[in-house]
Amino acid sequence: MKIAIVSGASRGIGNAIALRLASEGMKVVLCARDENLLNETVAKIGADESLAVAVDLRLPDSAAKVVDAAVAKFGTLDVLVNNAGATKRGDFESLTDDDFIDGFALKYFAAVRLTRAAWPHLKKQRGSIVNIVGAGGRTPGALFAIGGSVNAAVLSFTKAMSEKGIQDGVQVNAINPGPVRTARLAKRLESTTEGEFLRDERIARIGEPEDIAALVAFILSPNGRYMQGSLVDFDGGSTKTI
């Protein structure tokens, strides 16, 4: 029985990943800020098979609290899925230092701190990390200056930790989703039709949270163990570069 932590698990991609891993037989620790939404998912999975830890991962001590709670309840840790982090979109001239700092605090530093806290356990278990990053880390856009910068940093961090993972027996990979049907995307679609959005973005279709969850499940399966340091573009074709 494997034990997994999924950050940003209250909704969207993170929630789909938590539910998928639970369906694969893992016990899942869900963390995010919204305790009510986390508890709703725990009710679906079962209190013996899951745990909700409501924290703000922008705070430096939150990551260790999540890992400590996971090990206290389930005894060990095998998987970390770093999914937390939404960055502000907007024209560069309207973005402040605080906007950039907040973006790095929630996505980059949360991933770094969770990885640091989890690493000794993952090393012992020969476990796995999957970072959910984003296509903007490889193909930045003018309205995504914060997100592109943060995502690029997480991709670099993934490569660095994958090399350490070879030494320590920890599998480390990243997925770059393109547009996925979440509440954030729904707001962007309010001003256009889906067909126009697909044409503007030059993609085959909008992804579903369950698509990303399925790829996470594959990477964590025995068939996915050969993957190490992979930065997987899973984006409907939005990444046009080699």
Convert the pLDDT of each residue in 16-51 to its tens digit.
999 999 999 999 999 999 999 999 999 999 999 999
Within a domain: 242:
no
Within a domain: 159:
yes
Within a domain: 240:
no
Quickly state the pLDDT bin for 80 (edges 50, 70, 90). Answer: very high
Number of independent structural domains in the chain:
1
Within a domain: 160:
yes
Within a domain: 124:
yes
Q: What is the mean pLDDT of residues 128-138?
A: 96
Q: What is the mean pLDDT of residues 206-229?
A: 98
Within a domain: 202:
yes
Which residue range forms the structural domain that includes residue 182? 3-234
Phi, psi (deg, nearest 5) at residue 173: -145, 170
Within a domain: 241:
no
Quickly state the pLDDT bin for 188 (edges 50, 70, 90). Answer: confident
| Closest-CA residue to 26 (of 72, 76, 68, 62) | 76
| Closest-CA residue to 134 (of 79, 103, 174, 91) | 174
User: For residue 187, is pLDDT > 90?
Assistant: no
DSSP for 95-108, please give it.
--HHHHHHHIIIII
| pLDDT score recorded for residue 103 | 95
Mean predicted lDDT score pLDDT of the chain: 96
User: For residue 198, is pLDDT > 90?
Assistant: yes
Phi, psi (deg, nearest 5) at residue 46: 115, 135
The predicted model scores a pTM of 0.96
Percentage above 90 pLDDT, the chain: 91
Within a domain: 239:
no
Other Cβ atoms closer than 10 A to 174: 27
Q: What is the CATH number of the domain that holds 172?
A: 3.40.50.720
**Cα–Cα distance measured from residue 174 to residue 190, given in angstroms and rounded to the nearest whole number:** 30
DSSP for the chain, please give it.
--EEEEESTTSHHHHHHHHHHHHTT-EEEEEES-HHHHHHHHHHH-TTTEEEEE--TTSTTHHHHHHHHHHHHHS---EEEE-------S-GGG--HHHHHHHIIIIIIHHHHHHHHHHHHHHHHT-EEEEE--GGGTS--GGGHHHHHHHHHHHHHHHHHHHHHHHHT-EEEEEEE-SBSSHHHHHHHTTS-HHHHHHHHT-S--B-HHHHHHHHHHHHSGGGTT--S-EEEESTT-----
Q: What is the mean pLDDT of residues 85-97?
A: 92
Quickly state the pLDDT bin for 191 (edges 50, 70, 90). Answer: confident
